[in-house]
Amino acid sequence: MHRRLATALSASTLALVTVVSTAAAADAAPADKPQVLANWTQTSASSYTTWAAARADQGAWSAYAFDWSTDYCSSSPDNPFGFPFSMSCARHDFGYRNYKAAGAFDANKSRLDSAFYEDLKRVCVNYSGAKKTSCTSTAWTYYQAVKAFG
């Protein structure tokens, strides 16, 4: 009787461990998550474009469990003087939040801030003359703020 009970308990325990292990493996982010995150947070325009496409189709990336939340430009205007900086701020938030969650923020902060500045400058290329100068100056101010306080 005791032997049958012990065998049944062992089999049940083994089955439970297998189910829990399988569930944990299914919940784990794909192994290339750090590479995907790095690809989406570079200073290049192609990095920004790839991130923006993924952001528009977040469901396709759900297995990666990225944090897509944003408060855009935090307490600064999202579109200062009419310059549309909100998406640049959203990508910056994406980098900050996901690298903090990965425990790799300090090693990547400088690049994230530089990518933010490059994104802002890409907004400014759409202007000319005094408006472009104003945009570029505002971009520099936003960059200096995140560099110092971000």
pLDDT digits (tens, 9 = 90+) for 121-147: 999 999 999 999 999 999 999 999 999
92 is catalytic: yes
Three-class DSSP labels, 81-131 = HHCCCHHHHHHHHHHHHHHHHCCCHHHHHHHHHHHHHHHHHHHHCCCCHHH
Catalytic pick from 51, 92, 119, 139?
92
* Closest to 113 in 3D by CA, of 99, 102, 123: 99
In one letter, which amino acid is 150? G
Q: Among 79, 40, 43, 32, which residue's Cα sits nearest to residue 58?
A: 40
- Residue 19 burial (CB count, 10 A): 10
Proportion of the chain above pLDDT 90, given as a percent: 80
pLDDT tens track for 73-119: 999 999 999 999 999 999 999 999 999 999 999 999 999 999 999 99
Question: How far is the CA of 122 from the CAs of 66, 72, 116, 139, in angstroms?
Answer: 25, 17, 10, 10
CATH annotation of 31-149 = 1.20.90.10
Amino acid at 94: F
Say what the pTM is: 0.82
What is the pLDDT at residue 11?
A: 46
Local confidence band at 28 (pLDDT 50, 70, 90 cut-offs): confident
